[in-house]
Amino acid sequence: MNISVLGCGRWGTFIAWYLNKAGHQVLLWGRETSKNYKELAETRKNDYLALPEGIELTNSLEMAIEYSEVHIISISAQQLRSFAWQLNQHNIKGKTFILCMKGLEAESGKRLSQVVSEEAAGANVAVWVGPGHVQDFVKGIPNCMVIGSENVDITKEIVQKFSSDLIRFYYGQDMIGNEIGAATKNVMGIAAGMLDGLGYTSLKGSLMARGTREISRLVRAMGGNDITIYGLSHLGDYEATLFSPHSHNRKFGQSFVEGERFGKLAEGVATVEALMVLSKQYNVEMPISGALYQILFENAEAKETLEQLFLRPIKFEF
């Protein structure tokens, strides 16, 4: 089938590469000002992969929208609202947009599918999340991921068309759980990077146990299924984020406590802000996310603030 991929950064370019490999006709869109696009157009390569000849490139959004009924979006989460507004200036009624992104809107705490539905009513929205780094996939190392939408027929059709021996997809059943799970694993990734930077790597097991607990409480309060947090979108993505040398969020956290600047996109930073909104809105206690908010946005000292998590009153584990 024809598929347009909107966004030609690290992940969008990989998605185009993957869908071409899975046998689809792929058009990859990048904005006119994009350095990523320019590099791909000139060399057909980026830092991670080489684009096969079959993938077409364009910076005409109109052309990308007309090319296909199914579109992937992979851009930075905080830009999604304005981008969805832009999409809505074209004829997108009945088309499907699959979000390959992991974030929440910082000011409102809204999920990305909500953002698109608000700005582009009439489009179908799905999400494709779960563990995986370009560096591993291009070496042929397979992984499992999850695709979900509010319409189970759309979910099943996409999973069937996108599956290959490189990615085994599961049908997502819980948009709240999968979207919150995917966004917040980046928050735990930042915390893990901070632990690495502070010489506390051995605490990552505890972070995994308490992090999943904290996020599952939120998901339940929001009306999702708390078990989803123990699935591919969240716990299943911990290796790729809390432990992987490739994770931008983990590297951001480590660089932060080491006093260095990390220039690439770490979606978890804005998600920490969103979590403070949700924690208040749903009256859910979120100690790890709150500690990160103090460190990242209120200048609290990282080591001391993380250590204070140990001084909280003793309670039952579950």
Nearer of residues 179 and 214 to ligand NDP, judged by Cβ: 179
Rounded-to-integer distance, Cα 112 and Cα 231, Å: 19
Task: Pick the closest to residue 264 from 250, 275, 274 (CA basis).
Answer: 250
* Window 140-179: contact mask with ligand 13P (x via CB under 6 A): ----------------------------------------
Contact status, residue 171 vs residue 155, Cβ threshold 8 Å: yes
Catalytic residue among 185, 204, 251, 303: 185
Work out what residue 8 binds among ligand NDP, ligand 13P, none; the CB cut-off runs from 5 to 8 Å by kind: ligand NDP
68 is in an annotated binding site: no
Rounded-to-integer distance, Cα 101 and Cα 129, Å: 7
Collapsing DSSP states into helix, strand and coil, what is residue 142?
Answer: coil
Contact status, residue 29 vs residue 6, Cβ threshold 8 Å: yes
Work out what residue 103 binds among ligand NDP, ligand 13P, none; the CB cut-off runs from 5 to 8 Å by kind: ligand NDP
Identified binder of ligand 13P from the candidate list 21, 133, 220, 234, rule CB under 6 A:
133
Instruction: Please give the size of the binding site for ligand 13P, defined by CB under 6 A.
Output: 13
How distant is the alpha carbon of residue 167 from its chain centre?
Answer: 17
Q: Does 9 contact ligand NDP by CB under 6 A? A: yes
Q: Does 246 contact ligand NDP by CB under 6 A? A: no
109: left (phi over 0), alpha (psi -120 to 50) or beta: left
189 is in an annotated binding site: no
Identified binder of ligand 13P from the candidate list 7, 30, 131, 211, rule CB under 6 A:
131
247 is in an annotated binding site: yes
Rounded-to-integer distance, Cα 266 and Cα 37, Å: 20
Work out what residue 30 binds among ligand NDP, ligand 13P, none; the CB cut-off runs from 5 to 8 Å by kind: ligand NDP
Q: Does 7 contact ligand NDP by CB under 6 A? A: yes
**Please, is 262 exposed, middle or buried when counting C-beta atoms within 10 Å of its C-beta (0-12, 13-18, 19+)?**
middle
Work out what residue 172 binds among ligand 13P, ligand NDP, none; the CB cut-off runs from 5 to 8 Å by kind: none
185 flagged as catalytic: yes
Q: Which stretch binds ligand 13P (CB under 6 A): 28-36, 127-135, 222-230, 285-293?
A: 127-135
Pairing of strands 2-6, 56-58: unpaired
Tell me which residues are annotated as active site.
Answer: 185
